[in-house]
Structures are given as structure tokens and as C-alpha cells.
Amino acid sequence: MTEVRRNTLLHLPDMPAPRTTHWDDEDEDDASPRGQKRWFHYIPVLLAVLLMLIPHPSLLLVLVNYHLRVLKSPARFLFHLLATYTLTFLAFSSLILILARDPGPVTSPRMAEAADSLDEREDMSFMQALLATEEDDKRPGNWCRKCSAPKPERTHHCSTCGRCVLKMDHHCYWLGDRCIGHRTYAAFIHLLTCIVFLSVYIAVLCVQAVYFAFTNPLAIDENTPLHDIYLAFYGIIMALVFGSFWMYHIYLTTTNQTTLENVSPFLLLRHLPPLPRPPPDAQILSDPPLEHQLSHAQRRLVRDAHFHIRAYDVGWRKNWAQVMGWDRPWGWVPRLLVGGGCKGDGQTFPRNPRADDMLARLADELVSIDKD
């Protein structure tokens, strides 16, 4: 019996080596996950709420003094009041959704059954992660060594939260110290949109009031222009700060990228097909290769390819429909209220049909550039 077992072990190296499951390079930090949140972790979100509410007393004063008392136009007063408070209400609805909804729990029927028993979870061993089957090899997902569980594609482990998040975009300290993921990214876009539109609206409204005050100094009291100037600068600054951030996420949504995918070019390595056989004197890379194994020329090649290869870009119309979660021609209209949620289960996504050929060429170039 012992002899048979020895013979089996001796023949293991002769087996064809399977493609190993890729470990997350960005998860290699040894920072321990944060424990239960304390009260001071919510200070940033309270400051964000304060920034949204602080202009409203001055805004009410301007609307009453300027539009009602000076211009004597109740219709304009009601219109501007309705517009500003509608945008404020929509912004708070998205903020509440982000704080109340889980950004993306990594669950599936197979994993849920395994989680019912500690013994079943222990059966998912390290060797099972390494000896990936051919069917698993076709999926671009990986294995999280910190959660000891499979990670669907576009899922990342947040070291701050100590968990994996479906289609994680980033961890936001200003929004309750939470991650923005598959189930909250649409509400995050909606929140930024409402804040930018509200800031621009207040800035334009108050710049007009400031111009009127300078051209008609005797028609209005001396205190109202001070509030006009304060609100005009406040709206311009907020529009510039949040507007640049908003435009960046509009670009990410249009191209169907997350922040992590956009700023981490080496995430492309996860999607590479099996590498061609390298020459005898070339550096041997794992399959898929890891970032720290690449030479300088190979790193530059991956960075350049990152600007052209978008694995999940299926056209701007389908990208917006997928991210914002509508599937009908006018499905975007209800999403104006709270932003909604992304389509699908957050574990599989439509892929760019041209990406596979581009990734195959990148794999060939990674090996050929090492020959040179």
C-alpha cells in the first residue's frame, strides 16, 4: 500500500501542469481588516451632508428678497425653489441608498450551500484553488486567499472592509466609509450628477443676482448681495471640484470600466489567454503572468495596451444600460429618481467581442518582446 502511494507521488510531476488560479496582486498587502466602525468613521459623511445643506439658508434669503420682494415674481420664486429642492431631495435619496444597500455581496447558490457547514468550507483547499479545471480556466475570475473563496470576474478584495465586493469601484471614506460596488455604483453616479447640477444651478442663479445688484444698487438691500456673492463662489467651487470627478465617472461608465480597472493596467493580465511557449533562454512567466515577473519592456507593453483593450466595453448605449440598470428604451426615466442598480448578478458581464483577439496579440507580444 505504501509502495503504491509512493509511485503515485513520483508520477505527479509527469502530469500536465494546469493553469493556476491567479491571486490578486493588489491584495498582497498584509493590512488587517478594520473591525466594527466607530463613531468617528461617520464624521466624513456628516461633513458631506453639511456641505449639501449649508447653502440653503442663504439660498432661501436670496429667493425671497430678490425674486419676491424686488422682482415681484412668485412664479420664478416657486420654479427656482422647486428646482433646487428637487435636486437636493434626489441627491439625498441616492446617498441614503448608498448607505443602506450592500455594495455587492459575493454569494452564489453553490457558495451559499458551502457556507452552511464549516466542514464544507474547509474542503475548499489550497490544492483545489491551484488545480483549476478546464471549465474554470475559461472564466476570468480568481481566488481570494484572504476570504478563502472564489472571486467572480471584476470582484476585488477591500482590505479596509475585509471582504470581497462585486465589481468594486473604490472605497469611499466620504460616504459612510463604504465601498462603491455593483449594487451602489448607479446611485453613486446619480448622487454626483445631482450635486453637480445643483451647484451649477445655484452658481448661475446667484451670478445673475450679483449682476443685478451691481447694476441696480438702490433696488435691493445691502445684505442680500453678500449672500449672492457667497453662493456664487460656493456653487462655482463645488461645480469645479465635483464636476471633474463626475466627468471622470461619466467616462468610466461610457467605456464600462471601474476606477480600479482604469488605474490598474496590470489587471489585464487576468484576462490573458494561455501564453505561447517561450524560447529556452527567455524568462519563464506564470500563466497568467504576475506583475512582478514582468521586465521593464513587458510592463511598458501592458501599460500601452491598457489604453486600447477594454474587456467589457460593448458600446456606449449598452454600457450605460448595463451600469444604470435599464433594459427598455425609456428605462432611464425611472432611474432619474434614485439611480437604481446595475443589471445582472454582478458575477458575469458581457465582454467586448474584439477583446479576445487583442488579448491574444498582447500575450504573443509579451513573449516575443522577451526574445528581443
Distance CA(101)–CA(164), nearest Å, equals 15
Span 253-300, pLDDT tens digits = 999 999 999 999 998 888 888 888 766 666 677 777 888 888 888 899
pLDDT at position 16: 39
Band (99; pLDDT cuts 50, 70, 90): very high
What is the band of 181 on the pLDDT scale with cuts at 50, 70, 90?
Answer: very high
- SS3 per residue for 120-160: HHHHCCHHHHHCCCHHHHCCCCEEECCCCEEECCCCEEECC
Please compute, for residue 39, the number of CA atoms within 13 A of its CA located in the half-sphere on the CB side.
Answer: 0
Half-sphere exposure of 31 (CA within 13 A, CB side): 13
What's the grid cell of residue 131?
A: 488545480
Pairing of strands 156-158, 163-165: antiparallel
pLDDT at 118: 36
DSSP letters, 257-275, are --HHHHH-GGGGGGGPPPP
Average pLDDT over residues 184-213: 94
Cα dihedral 89, 94, 95, 97 sign: positive
CB proximity list for 194: less than 8 A, separation 6 or greater:
87, 88, 90, 91, 94
In angstroms, the CA 235 to CA 237 distance is 6
Q: What is the average per-residue pLDDT within 351-365?
A: 91
pLDDT (average), residues 158-170: 91
**Domain ranges in the chain?**
38-109+154-254, 262-371
Question: Where are any strands of DSSP class E within the chain?
Answer: 142-144, 149-151, 156-158, 163-165, 170-172, 178-180
| Cell representation of residue 371 | 526574445
Average pLDDT, the chain: 81
pTM score: 0.81
Contacts of 61 (CB under 8 A, 6+ apart): 224, 227
- The dihedral built from the CA positions of residue 212, 215, 220 and 223, taken in this order, carries a sign that is positive
Question: What is d(CA 185, CA 322) in angstroms, rounded to the nearest whole number?
Answer: 11
Task: Judge contact between 100 and 175, C-beta under 8 A.
Answer: no
For 144, phi and psi rounded to 5 degrees?
Answer: -95, 115
Active site residues: 172
Answer for the pair 240, 77: CB distance below 8 angstroms, yes or no.
Answer: no
